[in-house]
Amino acid sequence: MERPLVLPSSEKEDKNFQDLIQFFNETLGFCPNSVKTMYHRPSIAYAFIELNKAVMENKGNVTSSLKRLIGYISSNVAGCRYCQAHTIRAAERYGADEDKLKNIWDFRTHSVFSEAERAALEFALTSSTIPNAVDDKIAKNLRLYWNDGDIVEILGVIALFGYLNRWNDSMGTELEQEAIESGDTYLKQKGWNTGKHKY
């Protein structure tokens, strides 16, 4: 793409919006261009931020770093390089072990991942494919390690990134420099690049 489909809004006067985007300053260190683009219709941006906060709130056993790794797996399956960079950056900022960041695609076999994490990441992979590949075997394995509330949180992350993957790949959202740096650090050796998200 020659440019993003729609450029981010430069809105600075909406104090409520500025207060809400503080969530992303904690998560990523900056407000994503995707949210600024949504702000062309403020109600979409507001609703998205509230959904994001609700999904990423930890009520059970699913950690903040695991949620971001789940988002990464889901985004990788969808092919969204924008979200891949964002999720690996957020996982790093939320304390994911460096070995997990560097070996995320070896989650099935690498010793740094627990069986519970493997079950969650396998579910992320199979639920993000089209057509959906979740079957009884995947479901039974997930239930061995996670309760109903945890599973709802895990699937909430996957569904949230389903929305973001479609939004950012169709929009051609421009990647922020900080996200590019995280992508280069942890994902470049596996073939990641900015793709359509750099102008």
Residue 46 inside a domain? The answer is no
pLDDT in tens, the chain (199 residues): 999 999 999 877 888 888 878 888 888 999 999 999 999 999 999 999 999 999 999 999 999 999 999 999 999 999 999 999 999 999 999 999 999 999 998 999 999 999 999 999 999 999 999 999 999 999 999 999 999 999 999 999 999 999 999 999 999 999 999 999 999 999 999 899 999 999 9
How many domains does one find in the chain?
1
Residue 25 inside a domain? The answer is no
The boundaries of the domain holding residue 134 are 60-190
Residue 164 inside a domain? The answer is yes
CA nearest neighbour of 172 among 41, 80, 87, 39: 80
Residue 40 inside a domain? The answer is no
pLDDT of residue 22: 84
Residue 24 inside a domain? The answer is no
Residue 151 inside a domain? The answer is yes
Residue 19 inside a domain? The answer is no
Task: State the Cα–Cα distance between residues 158 and 67, nearest whole angstrom.
Answer: 9
Burial 89-113 (b: 16+ CB within 10 A, else e): bbbbbbebeeebbbbbeebeeeeeb
Residue 5 inside a domain? The answer is no
Neighbours of 140 (CB within 10 A): 10
CATH of the domain at 85: 1.20.1290.10
Burial 31-47 (b: 16+ CB within 10 A, else e): bbbbbbbbbeeeeebbe
